[in-house]
Structure 1
Amino acid sequence: MNVFIAHAQILRKEPPKERGRSGLMVLKVGKNKKTTEALIQSVNQIIVRIPGHLSDRAAKLEVNSYIEIFGHVGGIVRRSHLSGEQHLGAELVANNIQAAAPVLEGNVEKHLFNRFIAIGLLRGVKSPEKEGPPSTAYLQIGPDRPDLGRSFQHTGVIGLAAYGRVVDRLAKYEAGMPLHVEGRVTGLLRKIPKPGAEGGFEESLEVGLVMDRVSPTAMVAERMLTPFQPPKPAAEQAPSAPETEQASEEAKAPPATATTEQQN
């Protein structure tokens, strides 16, 4: 089980390219941070995939307006076209969204927030090679999925950044331990050099998960212990329930990332 919630401000919307497919929203979830020249930095912006069944509702919400949103976290794997190297990431998928109205005068921005809760199996902890960066805990929150060799595919594992006392607590747990974790979602803004463009780069906004609390638990979702069943061919499906439609869309959804081009 996992869920995230947020009070946020809409910064940008991307409608679905086709009817029934997913759109995207970039949301502000805290005060602006000072920008740096670092190739990767944390920002108070998150990107959320908006499934097709929420497209009409999302279209009615204006940019710069405030919203309440909740949904779930999913693991994704990207594979480099050049090196074949894999990169584990995460995406946020909305389950519901609605307009929110400020009821306090003053700076609403400092009251924006988000939280996530996840229950899963600890798969391991990776310590940084040098001081400064956080440790990374790998948590299985869904069934194992086979590697299909694609440039993008979903996975049942997510990586969570851990600092300080949380790292000390993780050291007490062995791989396979069922854990209950809580934390916050942040944006990871990556600067990627553009081939053939001197001094130019692209900025890619990705999802980052920061663990604030962790404790052992007694159970996990049964589906994590059963082999993953790939979606059936369209001819064999009988899509009637919204859950079936969502599962089908997830299987073909593109990665939830926002990319902008900049030039020094």
Structure 2
Amino acid sequence: MLSDFYPEKIGTDASEMCANSINPHTADSGTTSIVFDPLAVGELLAFVFASNFSLKTYSENRSCFSEKIGKSIAVENFELIDDPHMPNGLGSKPFDDEGVPTKKTHYIRNGIFEKTYSDLHNAYKEGATSTGNASRLGSPLGRSSDPVPMPAPHNLTVRGSTKRDDIIKDTKNGVLVSRLWYTYPVNPIRGDFSCTARSGIWIISDGQIKEPAKSVRIIHNLPRLLQQVSAVADNGRAVLPWASIPVTAPTIRCEGVTISPI
């Protein structure tokens, strides 16, 4: 894993983000295209996406996708995968915390909601089979000493094939968001969520990154967001959101997202 760790790049990326964020402008309030970079997508995957694909949440009708297995919930080419055998994945493991073998699972394939994840307890309650997703999550990684595990994805992953630069060039007007903060489900049953972009924000105009922007708030809805994905990049990056599950996230562009300057 350390063979793919480049501390120089981390320093370069951080210094460039700071230098390119000097003298930010106020972004226009309204509906726009948003290009979410991997760290921002990681926040969404961990705090907005993940719980909706739990068998427990689904069976209790607390998922915004309850009763929608087998139905289209995203754009046609979108895929959401749990890949616990991914090389160098932060959450990769051969078996879960109940000793059940792990396996690669598609939650969304070609836009269709395909499967949920579960541990032994919740699978037994629903007359199903555990998918090997029992976890005693430590912080920031590792295992806790909690006697009762909880169901959770191991390496929640989105993959794409488009170059990030091409996504930006193809964006007529929009906002590039590199980080998100305070990402919370507001109404989990409907899929409403709120988050704040307060650093690493730039305005895109005619396919070019023009100028830094001040903080904005994003209030949106997960089912609508999945229908508004217009591009997924091939730059997947391992992300460990604060006090949450590890994910692998690429750059994603979504259309018709409302932002409000703070």
- The TM-score bracket by the shorter chain reads under 0.3
TM-score by length of 2: 0.25
TM-score by length of 1: 0.25
Q: Which has the higher contact order (CA 8 A, sep 6+)?
A: 2
